[in-house]
Structure formats: C-alpha cells, structure tokens
Amino acid sequence: MGILRDRMIRDMQLRRFSGATQAAYLREVAVLARHFHQPPDRIDQHLLQDYILYLLTERQLASSSVNVATAALRFFYTVTLDRRDLALAIPPRKTPRHLPEVLSAAELQRLFDIENLKHRVLLMTTYAAGLRVSEVVRLRVTNIDSHRMMIRVEAGKGEKDRYTILSQRLLQELRTYWRIHRPHLWLFPGQKPGSPISPRTAQEVFTRAKNRAVIRKPGGIHLLRHSFATHLLEAGVDLRTIQLLMGHSSIGSTVRYLQLTRKTLDSAQSPLDLLALPAVKRFQ
C-alpha cells in the first residue's frame, strides 16, 4: 500500500487531520487489506460489505470502533481513490449516545484530596478549565495568564486555539506548585526531559485518585470535563459561553449537558404531582 498510503496521507494532511486521526485511518485501511490479502484498491463493494458485517458479527466490535473503521474506509474510497460507488456501499452507522456521569461536589473534594501536589494540580486544572486530557497535558507555563485570569489552550480539537477561565483558587494552587516544582516549559512535564506528561499517565493519575476517593461512577479523566460543563450550567452560565469555553464547534454538543443538570430537572414537575388524588390509605 506504499503509493496509496502516501496519497492518503497527503489527502489527510491537506484537510488538516490530526496525527491521531491519520494514524487511525491508515491502520483501518491496512487491516482491511490484510483481511482479504489483497491491495485495498482491488476490493469490490461486496467484499467491503462483508468486511463491515465481519466487524459487527464475528469480531463484535463496539459501535464507536466500527464507526472509526467505516469513516476511514469511506474517506479512502471517496477521496483518495475517487470511488464514490464503493463509498456508497459502506452503510452508515449510528453511535448510541450515552449520557456521561457527573461528579458531585463531595466527590470532587475527595478526588482532589491527594498528597502528590503535581497530580492534585493536574486534576484540578482539568476540572477548573474544562479541558480535554490532550489539552491539559500540553499546557505550557506561558499559557497561564494571571493578569486576564484566563488559560490559553493551543491546538485543541480540530487544531483550534481558545481561551478558558482561570479560577482564582486554581491560580493559588498553581503558584504553590510552581514554587515547589519550578516547571520550565511544560506546565506538567513528563519523565522524559523536554516532554510533557503523557495522556496515558494523566488517565492513570485520575484512575488512582478516583479509586482512592471510592468513586464508583464509570469513566476516565473526561469525567472532569463533563462535570465542569454541568456545574457551570447549574450555576446559571449560558450555553453559548460554555460552548466557547469548552471549544465545541457545535452548540448541539453543549446542549446535551442540559440533560445532566439538577437545575433543569428541578424546574420540571411530574404530572403525577398535579393530580388530585385521595389520601393514601394504610395497607393492612
């Protein structure tokens, strides 16, 4: 797949796909070729559909994994090969939208109650600014703007820059952290000199803190971002502002947090409460 691989990489780079997306798309096309033991440009629409069915029925992959595979194959056949007839043979897939869990104030207090200052500040920064794990690990010391009380997020999802809020309490924690650890370039440096902490390590830090805090809710460090958005809504912050702070390209991504807020539920009254029912009789 040498020449085709180079063409596909060029097509993705022209569209400014992230490095992770490029790697995932290339991997999916390579897996397809290995599955049929032939170059991907020689595979017809019937084999393509057989492959998708194989992923669903035999490998029983999650919908999200199948979606990555179909998106990669659709891009390859539509853009790189200009074979829209083959792309149309790939059935669209829908991903079930599960509502994320949200941490309570008490759970957050227990989560942040850890002795390792670097880990504590890492988790607090993720929550206080509503950051993705890929964003928090790549924060630079210079991204903290204490004069404007803002945090600059560079090359977030979609390679977009944005600003988010800097909490006064977080600023105090960051100053204590800086006095002790003196980070030079990266706010949270990794073990390798000159490199930031890895997303995997940040996830492990969160998992250990969550287990220590006896928090049973499922989910990784992204729970902190969900909690940030939900708590802002409950505090009365408008959706448009939250959209900008979180870097959502669509307001629809922000609207779903309305389903998670206690404030939204409290404003609704069950129709059962509107009925004039007789007094409850004591059961014998």
Q: Which of 83, 110, 181, 222 is catalytic?
A: 222
Q: Which residues contact 215 (CB under 8 A, 6 or more apart)?
A: 103, 107, 110, 111
pLDDT in tens, 65-120: 888 899 999 999 999 999 888 777 777 766 666 677 889 999 999 999 999 999 99
Q: Are 178 and 144 in contact (CB under 8 A)?
A: no
Across 13-27, 138-152, 237-251, 270-284, which has the greatest mean pLDDT? 138-152
Among residues 101, 79, 84, the alpha carbon closest in space to that of 11 is found at 79
Is 27 in the active site? no
DSSP structure class, residue 162: E
193: helix, strand or coil? coil
Q: Which of 119, 225, 226, 231 is catalytic?
A: 225
pLDDT of residue 283: 47
- Strand 162-165: give its sheet, edge to edge: 144-145, 150-153, 162-165
Q: Which of 35, 110, 118, 248 is catalytic?
A: 248
Is 35 in the active site? no
Could you tell me the two tokens for 239? 């959706």
Are β-strands 144-145 and 162-165 bridged in parallel, bridged antiparallel, or unpaired?
A: unpaired
CATH (residue range 2-88): 1.10.150.130
- In which band, very low, low, confident or very high, does the pLDDT at 156 lie, cut at 50, 70 and 90? low
pLDDT of residue 33: 93
d(CA 38, CA 36): 6
Please state the pTM of the whole predicted model: 0.69
pLDDT in tens, 217-266: 999 999 999 999 888 888 888 888 888 888 877 776 677 666 656 555 55
> In this structure, is the dihedral angle defined by the CA atoms of residues 270, 273, 275 and 280, taken in order, positive or negative?
positive
Mean pLDDT, the chain, whole residue set? 86
What CATH topology corresponds to 105-266? Answer: hpI Integrase; Chain A (1.10.443)
* Section 12-23 average pLDDT: 88
Is 157 in the active site? yes
Is 83 in the active site? no
What are the residue ranges spanned by the domains of the chain? 2-88, 105-266
d(CA 3, CA 182): 47
**Residue 115: C-alpha distances to residues 101, 109, 201, 212, 242 (Å):** 26, 13, 17, 12, 31
Q: Which of 152, 157, 162, 181 is catalytic?
A: 157
CB atoms within 10 A of CB 237: 14
Q: Which of 132, 138, 210, 226 is catalytic?
A: 132
